Structure 1
Amino acid sequence: MKLHTVESSMIQAFGYDAETKTLLVIFNSGKTYRYFKVPPKIYKQLLAADSKGSYMRDFVIDQYPYELAKKTRR
């Protein structure tokens, strides 16, 4: 999975696995989440969004099943 590093007050990086429709998001807080059953369209729109954090809040968080993948110390 290729990770895209972004400049965002909320997100450090994210990547997408098209086979499993899994979106991996590394937040600036140090937490990494996996979001499941995310359509490719949502990933492409996230890539193109001016504000990645706003897009995540509006279209991903609480919209798709997820799990905390890991938490790193800051």
Structure 2
Amino acid sequence: MIDRVAFDDDARVLSVSFKQTGKYLYNEVPATIFEALCKASSAGAFFNEQIKGRFQCRRDPERRRFGPNA
């Protein structure tokens, strides 16, 4: 489900790259959530329980889109 994650401490923005749907940015995420995500035995399960629907998110505006619907 999740390909990679990154965190900007200063902006408190969590970047999550999903294997199927691309990269999303989650705002006002505490560093403790990022740390727990990195240590979780299942990143996907942790994401669904602790992040999804709890933080404002948006698709990464820097993401390049490819394909017929780009």
**TM-score normalised by L of structure 2:** 0.85
RMSD: 1.6
Distance 1:30 1:71, change over 3 A: farther
| Count of aligned pairs | 65
Within a 5 Å distance, the mapping from 1:2-13 to structure 2 comes to 10-13=1-4
Gaps of 5+ in 1: 1-9
Gaps of 5+ in 2: none
1:39 to 21, 24, 30: 30
Superposition deviation, residue 31 in structure 1 = 1.3
Superposition deviation, residue 30 in structure 1 = 3.9
Superposition deviation, residue 17 in structure 1 = 0.3
Superposition deviation, residue 73 in structure 1 = 4.7
Higher gyration radius (CA): 2
Structure 1 residue runs of 4 or more that deviate by more than 4 Å after TM superposition? 71-74
**TM-score normalised by L of structure 1:** 0.80
Task: Report the 3-state secondary structure (helix = DSSP H, G, I; strand = E; otherwise coil) of the residue aligned with 1:33.
Answer: strand
